Amino acid sequence: MINVIRRRQIVGLITLEDEEMTPFDRVKEVWSDVTGRAIYLACTQGYARLQQVSDVSPDAVFTYDRWLLEPPKNFYRLHRLAVDLPAGNTLGWIDDFLFDWQTGEMIAYIVAGEIAAPFGERAVLWAEDVQAIDERAILLKEGALNRLKSESEGLKGFLCEKSPQVRKLVKRISDRLDYLIHPNDKPEVIRLRIKTVRDELAADRHYDNNALAEAAVFVQQQWENIQHSLTRRKEWAKSSLDAAWQQIISK
């Protein structure tokens, strides 16, 4: 859950190219393929595959390369799509969604309208309860309504639901761990590294102790995901550099 983010948290962020570290665009939308996997980010000046994203902070999206200028084909804008039952009844719409920005995996949809009435204004619909997606609507599987959750219950424990201060501290701890942990490190080694980083931040006295404690607990609980995430990020960075080098030498 370390890389799971809400659509509303990434839309509006500035984009920075890793090499230049200068703002060049702003995220406008997240597009998915027919399976619901997030594939593209749409910006004011173009489009980019999610694979081009190297990192997402609370303030910016970092990319390996600039955007494509042409819009992708056969992809859908999920936000505001209708929500249909198998019988064809439309019960609401997608108000927001949660996805893993590193893999594109869709986690859950936040739905509104009649479908969410028993839970208040919105409800959580799990991605595995969606049968099909097209340009007009998502079609629910049989029994999906029985598995809806309230936002408070369904999204409990997700990093994207924590306070901005906690999210920033989790990001800061994770960034420091990038230089301290390795793919083959044992759990006890990683936990010690996390404690070391937490103690260093606590010594700075610039952070709220409660927020720092909450962030450290989250990172401890997610150490395996963090290790895998850092490994994938390094692999993708190497792959991107190799591809760029091949383009240079092939000219």
Place of tokens 């010594």: 203
The token duo for 6 is 């809400």
Q: At what angle do helices 223-250 and 187-204 cross, to 10 degrees?
A: 90
Contact between 24 and 13 (Cβ < 8 Å): no
Q: Does residue 39 register a pLDDT over 80?
A: yes
- Which of 134, 155, 176 is a domain's end point? 155
From the list 120, 109, 104, the residue with the least C-alpha distance to 83 is: 109
Q: What pLDDT, on a 0 to 100 scale, did the predictor assign at position 27?
A: 93
pLDDT tens profile 170-219:
999 988 888 888 878 888 998 999 999 999 999 987 889 999 999 999 99
Residues 61 and 183 in one domain: no
Over the stretch 18-34, which tens digit does the pLDDT of each residue have?
A: 656 666 789 999 999 98
pLDDT band at 144 (very low <50, low <70, confident <90, very high): very high
Among 127, 155, 183, the domain boundary falls at 155
> Domain check: are 106 and 189 in the same one?
no
Burial class for 192, CB neighbours closer than 10 Å (0-12, 13-18, 19+): middle
pLDDT at 75: 86
Q: Is the pLDDT of residue 12 over 80?
A: yes
| Shared domain check, 214 and 137 | no
Domain stop point among 122, 137, 155: 155
Do 113 and 38 fall into the same domain?
Answer: yes
Q: At what angle do helices 223-250 and 164-177 cross, to 10 degrees?
A: 60
Q: Is the pLDDT of residue 153 over 80?
A: yes
Cβ atoms 198, 146 nearer than 8 A: no
Residue 76: what pLDDT? 87
What integer is the mean pLDDT of 41-51?
86
Each residue of 69-127: pLDDT tens digit? 677 778 889 999 999 998 889 999 999 999 999 889 999 999 999 999 999 999 999 99
Task: Report the domain count for the chain.
Answer: 2
44 vs 149, more confident: 149
Q: For residue 169, is pLDDT > 80? A: yes
Q: Per residue in 219-245, pLDDT tens?
A: 998 887 777 777 766 666 666 666 656
Element (H, E) at 26: strand 23-32
Residue 149 confidence (pLDDT): 97
Determine the structural domain holding residue 241 and report its residue range: 162-250
